[in-house]
Amino acid sequence: MLTQNLGYPRIGSQRELKKICENYWAGKTGYKNVLQVGKNIRHENWLMQKESGIDVIPSNDFSLYDHVLDHSLTFGAIPKRYNEVILKKGNSELDLYFAMARGYQKDGLDVVAMEMTKWFDTNYHYIVPEFYKNQPFKLFSTKIIDEFYEAKQLGILTKPVLIGPVSYLLLGKEKEVGFEKIDLIKNLLPVYIDILTRLDALDVGYVQFDEPFLTLDLSEKEQKAYQYVYKEIRKAFPRLKIVLATYFEGLGNNLSLISSLSIDILHVDLVRSPQQLENVISVLNDKTILSLGLVDGRNIWKNDFKLSLETINKATEKLGRERVWISPSCSLIHSPVDLTNETNEENLSSEIKQWLAFAKQKVAEVVTLKELASNEDPASTLQKLKANKLAIANRKNSTLIHNNEVKQRVQSLKSEDSKRLSSFSSRKTKQKGLNLPQFATTTIGSFPQTAEVRSWRAKLKNGTYSMEEYNTLIAEETAKAVKWQEEIDLDVLVHGEFERNDMVEYFGEQLSGFAFSKNGWVQSYGSRCVKPPIIFGDVSRPKAMTVKWTAYAQSLTTKHMKGMLTGPVTILQWSFVRNDQPRSVTCTQIALAIRDEVCDLEKAGIKIIQIDEPAIREGLPLRKAEWQSYLNWAVKAFRISASGVQDETQIHTHMCYSEFNDIIQNIADMDADVITIETSRSQMELLDIFADFKYPNDIGPGVYDIHSPRVPKREEMIALLEKAKAVIPSGQLWVNPDCGLKTRGWDETKKALIEMVEAAKEMRKAE
Ligand code: GLN
Ligand code: ZN
């Protein structure tokens, strides 16, 4: 029985990688320093895993920006537009790499970045490979070989990690018509063979091929591609020890395909899909080793050793100890790095801390599980099991977790609690009292979070400012924003969200059942890390969260002030969620808290309330068969949060980065009076599905892209609105930017919004 790890966080325990990369991009440090910091992190990770007792330690799991991009560079899948960056004198491979990741704008060259998208159902974003018909591949970067060699020099024979050839292709995007990306498999395979030949020459033992697509539905062509590549690899390397890693879902109907592949170790995710164990064992051929993914790589809870041991025993009974490995469920890049960095009792109490395990602790758990399963030292086994049992029981029974009132409330929910009083059409009539013009203008909520505003929060935290001083500054900033919105004649105003650090954290900090780490960063993309809240207990709202600032802003104007809330699904999706009850229950609890807030805002005289749900779509399960059940509870949670108000109160929702094609019915079922969406970058194409569906409620298609400082011209926005009007009746249309403006500067924000208001006025004139 061996232990393995599939991948370790590469940001460094103090986010060293972020800091050095950002300094490099700002021209404050040289590329050698970037490479050195990378090297230090790799060495630290390898040595730590070795000292912990992991038998099979990964390499090439490190990346300066993104591991998918690393592969594109390795395979020479470099779009032509970067040629000039390559050729430019003085540019290193690193400059090319970062140009692909972030774009390149220097010395007259202006090349856009490659697209980025979410890594399966995680909050990690990867750089999407770009594919062309008959595209050739060749070994361009030798990173994987170099890093294997580097570890070998340290005395560690690692297991290089490669994204498997089929998954690599499926992660990419066809950039021209007339071919399917999977057709490129014949061109791609020789590069893998080349890499493996070089690794073989360095005496590589195990090589890990990540093939997460094996947990999704596959076409026949894709299945054939799997058979083809693993047959060819085996043919070329009869003695190579192939680890095939699958994760994020069960293998389902791909089981028989997998059993036909000539591999040595199959890794399966038993956290996401514990029920697959028996089926997997039953199809395994009689030499293949099974790697049990038992320690959750996607969440922060301590492993339940007793449960894991039961699984291990089940597997060893059938397969024998020699054919069982123990492992985290997936790469640990989705976990924060090290719990021992959490020293602040105020952030994370010691009671909660004893329920948690971050990446470093998870590595130790994997090793301990092997120890317990071997039971070579019965006294120590007993003691470790006992301690674990105690922590698990302590969590289960903790008074911190349970709130009977909340549980009761969820149980006694009635169907009318998730329904507005009347249908949309009668609400729309009643909401005429709001006196809004056609093509009503609004924004999505946040205004620029300038360095100054952020510095106030920092000063509040470090004690330089008292709460009172801080509040005064925020109030002044809010008042300025309100006054300015009145001046430019926007119809529905917002308070600007200056008091909020983050749209989820702000609410989590005020809700019971949430905890926050101080250093629990997880890579989101490139140098960007997020620190998700930890939902550990029943969620309740001790007191109103947004009423004070919203009512204050409303008191400054006779126009409508829109209340601004984050929706239950988004709060759930962007947090570490408790694993002792279904996600749907936790979501419903959050929904009830938001519902109370909505009602309190209404009581305070707020007539328009927006509940942001940008994360609804990304919560979709990986397998389509499970979509409906997710959408049912997610939409219901939104409706619970929105349905406590009178018909006259107008509920908005907002979603960005979304494609609505296969979920339009569910979006309609949310029954928000107004939905604002991101559409400008797709030139309103995203609206077509709303038109085809005859979406009945009001829509605000974004008329300009807020991701860039560029100020759009009035004519461009009018052209977009004309396009919208061609497919959606103008009586249903609102006018707004794509998303919140917090990452923009005031200068461009002001100019753009003035143009936007004028564009709406032109549209009204033409009616
Ligand atoms: N109200 C939020 C804002 O304006 C919405 C952000 C989002 O959709 N991601 O910042
Ligand atoms: Zn948005």
List pLDDT tens digits, range 566-586: 999 999 999 999 999 999 999
CA 545–ligand 2 middle distance (angstroms): 21
Q: Distance between CA 213 and CA 228 in Å, rounded?
A: 16
Catalytic residue among 67, 71, 652, 707: 707
Backbone region of residue 111 per phi and psi (left: phi > 0; alpha: psi in -120 to 50; beta: other values) = beta
Is 39 in a helix, a strand, or coil?
A: helix
The protein residue whose alpha carbon is closest to atom 9 in ligand 1 is: 614
For residue 612, give the ligand nearest its CA: 1
The protein residue whose alpha carbon is closest to atom 5 in ligand 1 is: 740
Ligand 1 and 170: CB distance under 6 A: no
Residues 104-118, mean pLDDT to the nearest whole number = 88
pLDDT in tens, 58-80: 999 999 999 999 999 999 999 99
As a dihedral over the C-alpha atoms of residue 33, residue 38, residue 42, residue 48, rounded to 10 degrees, the angle is 70
Q: Quote the distance between the C-alpha of residue 445 and its chain's center.
A: 21
DSSP state of 80: G
Q: Is 17 annotated as a binding residue?
A: yes
Q: Indicate the pairing of strand 159-163 with strand 206-210.
A: parallel
Q: Quote the distance between the C-alpha of residue 633 and its chain's center.
A: 20
Q: Chain-wide mean pLDDT for the chain? A: 96
What is the b/e burial string over 661-691, where b = at least 16 CB atoms within 10 angstroms of the residue's CB? eebeebbbebbbbbbbbbbbeeebebbebbe
CA 6–ligand 1 middle distance (angstroms): 35
Is 734 in a helix, a strand, or coil?
A: strand
Q: Is 278 annotated as a binding residue?
A: no
Contact predicate 448/627, CB 8 Å: no
Ligand 1 and 739: CB distance under 6 A: yes
Q: Is 402 annotated as a binding residue?
A: no
- Written as six digits, the tokens of 283 are 């199809």
Ligand 1 and 564: CB distance under 6 A: yes
380 confidence band (pLDDT: 50, 70, 90): very high
Contact predicate 129/72, CB 8 Å: yes
- Written as six digits, the tokens of 264 are 């040595």
Q: Is 612 annotated as a binding residue?
A: yes
Phi/psi of residue 21, nearest 5 degrees: -65, -45
Angle of the 16-25 helix axis to the 93-102 helix axis, nearest 10: 100
The protein residue whose alpha carbon is closest to atom 4 in ligand 1 is: 740
Q: Give the nearest ligand 1 atom to 614 CA.
A: 8
Is 90 exceeded by the pLDDT of residue 489? yes
Ligand 1 and 485: CB distance under 6 A: no
Strand partners, 125: 118
Ligand 1 and 503: CB distance under 6 A: yes
Is 116 in a helix, a strand, or coil?
A: strand
Ligand 1 and 143: CB distance under 6 A: no
pLDDT in tens, 668-711: 999 999 999 999 888 899 999 999 999 999 999 999 999 888 89
Q: Give the nearest ligand 1 atom to 566 CA.
A: 1
Q: Distance between CA 627 and CA 631 in Å, rounded?
A: 6
Given ligand 1 and candidates 504, 739, 744, which is best to mutate, with the most ligand atoms within 8 Å of its CB? 739
CA 494–ligand 1 middle distance (angstroms): 12
Ligand 1 and 446: CB distance under 6 A: yes
pLDDT in tens, 126-175: 999 999 999 999 999 999 999 999 999 999 999 999 999 999 999 999 99
Q: Give the nearest ligand 1 atom to 444 CA.
A: 4
Whether 267 is catalytic is: no
pLDDT in tens, 642-669: 999 999 999 999 998 778 999 999 999 9
At position 489, the amino acid (one-letter code) is: D
The protein residue whose alpha carbon is closest to atom 10 in ligand 1 is: 740
pLDDT in tens, 604-639: 999 999 999 999 998 999 999 999 999 999 999 999
CA 679 vs CA 308, 462, 657, 687, 737: distances in Å: 47, 40, 9, 7, 9
Contact predicate 396/580, CB 8 Å: yes
Q: By CB neighbour count within 10 A (0-12 exposed, 13-18 middle, 19+ buried), where does 559 fall?
A: middle
For residue 613, give the ligand nearest its CA: 1
Residue 656: per-residue pLDDT: 86
Ligand 1 and 159: CB distance under 6 A: no
Q: Give the nearest ligand 1 atom to 610 CA.
A: 1
CA 394 vs CA 4, 302, 376: distances in Å: 29, 12, 28
Read out DSSP for 275-334?
GGHHHHHHH--TT-EEEEEEE-SSS-BPP-HHHHHHHHHHHHHHH-GGGEEEEESS-GGG
CA 726–ligand 1 middle distance (angstroms): 28
Q: Give the nearest ligand 1 atom to 740 CA.
A: 4
CA 652–ligand 1 middle distance (angstroms): 12
What is the b/e burial string over 313-326, where b = at least 16 CB atoms within 10 angstroms of the residue's CB? eebbeebeeebbbb
CA 42 vs CA 51, 62, 95, 106, 516: distances in Å: 14, 7, 21, 31, 28
Strand partners, 610: 564, 652
Q: Is 272 annotated as a binding residue?
A: no
CA 741–ligand 1 middle distance (angstroms): 8
Is 90 exceeded by the pLDDT of residue 364? yes
Residues 414-438, mean pLDDT to the nearest whole number = 98
Residue 759: per-residue pLDDT: 98
For residue 615, give the ligand nearest its CA: 1
Q: How many contiguous H segments (helices) and E segments (strands) does the chain have?
A: 28, 26
Q: Is 118 annotated as a binding residue?
A: yes
Ligand 1 and 612: CB distance under 6 A: yes
Q: Is 678 annotated as a binding residue?
A: yes
Residue 107: per-residue pLDDT: 86
Q: Is 446 annotated as a binding residue?
A: yes
CA 237–ligand 1 middle distance (angstroms): 52
Q: Give the nearest ligand 1 atom to 445 CA.
A: 4
What are the residues whose beta carbons fall under 8 Å from the beta carbon of 48, sequence distance 6 or more? 360, 363
For residue 741, give the ligand nearest its CA: 1
CA 642–ligand 1 middle distance (angstroms): 18
Is 90 exceeded by the pLDDT of residue 106? no
What are the residues whose beta carbons fall under 8 Å from the beta carbon of 243, sequence distance 6 or more? 4, 56, 159, 206, 207, 208, 209, 263, 264, 265, 267, 291
CA 518–ligand 2 middle distance (angstroms): 26
- Written as six digits, the tokens of 136 are 């050739």
CA 393 vs CA 492, 538, 625, 749: distances in Å: 51, 17, 35, 53
Q: Distance between CA 557 and CA 22 in Å, rounded?
A: 42
Residue 347: per-residue pLDDT: 84
At position 677, the amino acid (one-letter code) is: I
Contact predicate 142/197, CB 8 Å: no
The protein residue whose alpha carbon is closest to atom 3 in ligand 1 is: 740
Q: Distance between CA 637 and CA 14 in Å, rounded?
A: 37
Q: Distance between CA 98 and CA 92 in Å, rounded?
A: 10
Q: Quote the distance between the C-alpha of residue 521 and its chain's center.
A: 13
Ligand 1 and 444: CB distance under 6 A: yes
Residue 94: per-residue pLDDT: 95
What is the b/e burial string over 242-257, where b = at least 16 CB atoms within 10 angstroms of the residue's CB? bbbbbbbbbbeebbeb
End-to-end CA distance of the chain: 75
Ligand 1 and 609: CB distance under 6 A: no
Ligand 1 and 742: CB distance under 6 A: yes
Q: Is 739 annotated as a binding residue?
A: yes
Residue 658: per-residue pLDDT: 75
Residue 223: per-residue pLDDT: 98
Ligand 1 and 445: CB distance under 6 A: yes
- Written as six digits, the tokens of 144 are 């994987």
